[in-house]
Each structure stands twice: as C-alpha cells, then as structure tokens.
Amino acid sequence: MSRIAASIPSPDHGVWHLGPVPVRAYALCILAGIFVAVWWGNKRFIARGGLDGQVAEVAIIAVPMGVIGGRLYHVLTDWEAYFGEGGKGFLGAFKVWEGGLGIWGAIALGAVGAYIGCRREGIPFATFADAVAPGVAVAQAMGRWGNYFNQELFGKPTTLPWALEIDPQYRPAGYEQYATFHPTFLYESLACLAIAVIVVWADKRFVMGHGRVFALYLALYCSARAVIETLRIDEAHHIAGIRLNVFTAIVVGSMSLIYLLRSLDRNPGREVINLEPRTIEAPKSSGRRRIASDKDSVGSRSEAQAPVAIVPVTNEAVAPAEASSQDAATEGPKPPRIRRIKQD
C-alpha cells in the first residue's frame, strides 16, 4: 500500500460526455498543443519579418497532413493490431481519438504540408520552420498527456516515488503482476519542455537561421526519444535488434545534426524576411485591372504582400540568389521572387 500511495495515480477515465457528444482528453491535449504551437509560432514569425496570420494559414494545410501522417505511421508500424487476428479492423484504423499518432509520420507529412502552405503564402519554408520549432516541442509536451489519460505507452515496472499506476486491463502480457511503471509520457513531456527552452536560448544566443533552429529541435528530440524509448515495453518492430523508434531517432537525429553543421558553414547568420503590401495591376495594354487571385495573395485576399528581400543578420556577405532566365521570359505579372541582398 505504501508503494501505491507514493506513486502517480492514473485517471479513472479519459472521456466525458456532453449529452450525446463524447469529449476525449486525448483529443483535447492534441488540440491544446496545436493552439500553442500556432500562437507562439505566429509571434516568432512576425519577429522575423513575417505577417500576422500567415502561420495560421500554413497550419490549415500542415496540421491535417501531420495528423494523417502520424496515424499512417502508427497503423503501418502496428499493422497486426488492426489487421491481424482479433485486430481492431479497417474502421479501427481511422479512430484517431482512441490514441495512436506516430510522431515521425506527423513530422514528415506535416513538413510536406507546411512546405505547400509556405509556397502558397510566398514565404521561405526554412524561416517558417525556425519560427514554429519551439512551439512544436511544447505541442508535443502537451500531447503526451493524452497517453496518460489513455493509460498507454508507459515504461518498465518500477517502484520509484513517481511511478505510474496502471489498471490491470491496460497492463501488457507478462506484466500483469506489476502495479506501477515508468511514466514515459511524463519523461518525454518534460524533455520536450526543456528542448523548447534550449532552442529559444540558442536562437537568441547564436542568432540562428536558415532552418538551423528546427534542425536543433529535431536533434535534441531524437536524442531524448532514443533514451526514453529504451524504457518502453509496448510491442514494437525491431531493426537489427533495435526498436524501430530508436532506429528512426538515430537516423533522423544524425541527419539533423549534419544539416545543422553544414548550414553553419554555408549560410551563417539569420535571414529576416521583409514583406510590404503591393497592389497587383494588369498590364496597361489590357485596358483593365486584373483581380488578384489566391496565387497572387500573400497574407490577405484583397492585396498581395510581396516578399521584398531576405536580409541576413550578420556582418558576413551572403551570396545572392541566382536569377532565373525562364522567369524573365515569362509573360504576364507574377508574384515577386524573394531575393537576397548582399551586404557591403
């Protein structure tokens, strides 16, 4: 009894009902994290020269794609739980609210969605990624509490004072006799909060840019995840005797570190985007004003916010972007390209 009294109790349930509508704690944790990531990312993006609301515009595409990517990764890496004997079935694969979002798939497909959104808004993808990096870490910290309410993805049995109580029906086979386990959700949540603090500090201390802030976040997260993953006892695929998530963390973390070091040499300093409003006019020969389309719009639907330049915050010169002869030969007005200004 004394051991249980010193441990962390699990919630009795993770679903509340407002009449016929179920309100799930897992979904609330995910939504709260998304809100914080967009809100904080917006503030940081404005500080880098972006426009208010552009992060939310990109998130409209990136967030759904991130959720789809996270679910796909989870289902594909836990195929037997859905399509094996006695599995949850085809419809169960769509029940995201019951838990199961793989962070690697969420980052990968979410990044694709963010890239599409950035192209649509006419903003540099690397600048956007750097702006949202610490907010994404905080979103992960908040989302992990959904595992707490679902009593899932905990670690090995332990009698430490912060051990997590798990109800018998949630204990995996072979661990039925144990009552308390490592709260890996809490470890990862605290690690993500620490990563957000480190990333913000490093961004201010070393004037980071060109995607290095996001790369640092990834490298730190992969390091923490690789360690925490070794404590988990849930079923997982293995590569060369290593849990798949550990293997993925090593690969992604190494690639992030390589990019960070190479970027420091190739693109020192930080870029700041300057966006100025500009009304798009039709050529005089047409005799009429052209209505700006969504492709022309950057930041609003009524007027285009044209990215004028990327100014590196450093005393070192940054090589100008190569002009495209094809753009020069294309007829008709086009959204202005982002050009880098070489400092004297």
pLDDT digits (tens, 9 = 90+) for 1-13: 344 557 899 998 8
How many whole angstroms separate alpha carbon 77 and alpha carbon 237? 7
Mean residue pLDDT of the chain comes to 81
Question: Is 3 among the domain residues?
Answer: no
Question: Is 51 among the domain residues?
Answer: yes
Cβ neighbourhood burial of 181 (10 Å; 0-12, 13-18, 19+): buried
Question: Is 102 among the domain residues?
Answer: yes
Asked whether residue 37 falls in the same domain as residue 114, the answer is yes
Selected residue with higher pLDDT from 120 and 318: 120
Six-digit token pair at 333?
């007005």
Sequential DSSP letters for 247-284 = HHHHHHHHHHHHHHHHHHHHS-S-EEEEEEEE-----G
How many whole angstroms separate alpha carbon 108 and alpha carbon 101? 12
Asked whether residue 223 falls in the same domain as residue 298, the answer is no
Asked whether residue 127 falls in the same domain as residue 241, the answer is yes
How many whole angstroms separate alpha carbon 23 and alpha carbon 229? 29
Question: Is 274 among the domain residues?
Answer: no
CA-wise closest residue to 98 among 15, 202, 207: 15
Question: Is the distance from CB of 188 to CB of 228 less than 8 angstroms?
Answer: yes
Asked whether residue 166 falls in the same domain as residue 246, the answer is yes
How many whole angstroms separate alpha carbon 178 and alpha carbon 167? 10
Question: Is 1 among the domain residues?
Answer: no
- The label of the residue with tokens 């949630």 reads 170
Query: Mean pLDDT throughout 295-323?
Result: 43
How many whole angstroms separate alpha carbon 124 and alpha carbon 50? 10
Quick one: pLDDT at residue 95? 77
Name the 3-class secondary structure at 22.
strand
Question: Is 273 among the domain residues?
Answer: no
Asked whether residue 170 falls in the same domain as residue 22, the answer is yes
Selected residue with higher pLDDT from 145 and 293: 145
Question: Is the distance from CB of 53 to CB of 42 less than 8 angstroms?
Answer: yes
How many whole angstroms separate alpha carbon 197 and alpha carbon 224? 14
Quick one: pLDDT at residue 97? 67
Asked whether residue 149 falls in the same domain as residue 106, the answer is yes
Structural domain that includes position 294: 280-340
- The label of the residue with tokens 């997260």 reads 221
Q: Which of 212, 243, 266 is the last residue of a domain?
A: 266
Q: Which of 266, 296, 326 is the last residue of a domain?
A: 266
Share of the chain above pLDDT 90, in %: 55
Q: Is the pLDDT of residue 213 over 60?
A: yes
Question: Is the distance from CB of 135 to CB of 36 less than 8 angstroms?
Answer: yes
Selected residue with higher pLDDT from 272 and 60: 60
Asked whether residue 214 falls in the same domain as residue 296, the answer is no
Query: Mean pLDDT throughout 124-146?
Result: 96
Amino acid identity, position 181: F
Asked whether residue 66 falls in the same domain as residue 171, the answer is yes
Asked whether residue 229 falls in the same domain as residue 134, the answer is yes
Asked whether residue 129 falls in the same domain as residue 175, the answer is yes
How many domains would you assign to the chain?
Answer: 2
Question: Is 272 among the domain residues?
Answer: no
Continuous segment of H or E residues that includes residue 307: strand 304-312
Asked whether residue 211 falls in the same domain as residue 327, the answer is no
Q: Which of 204, 233, 266 is the last residue of a domain?
A: 266
Asked whether residue 252 falls in the same domain as residue 321, the answer is no
Question: Is 250 among the domain residues?
Answer: yes
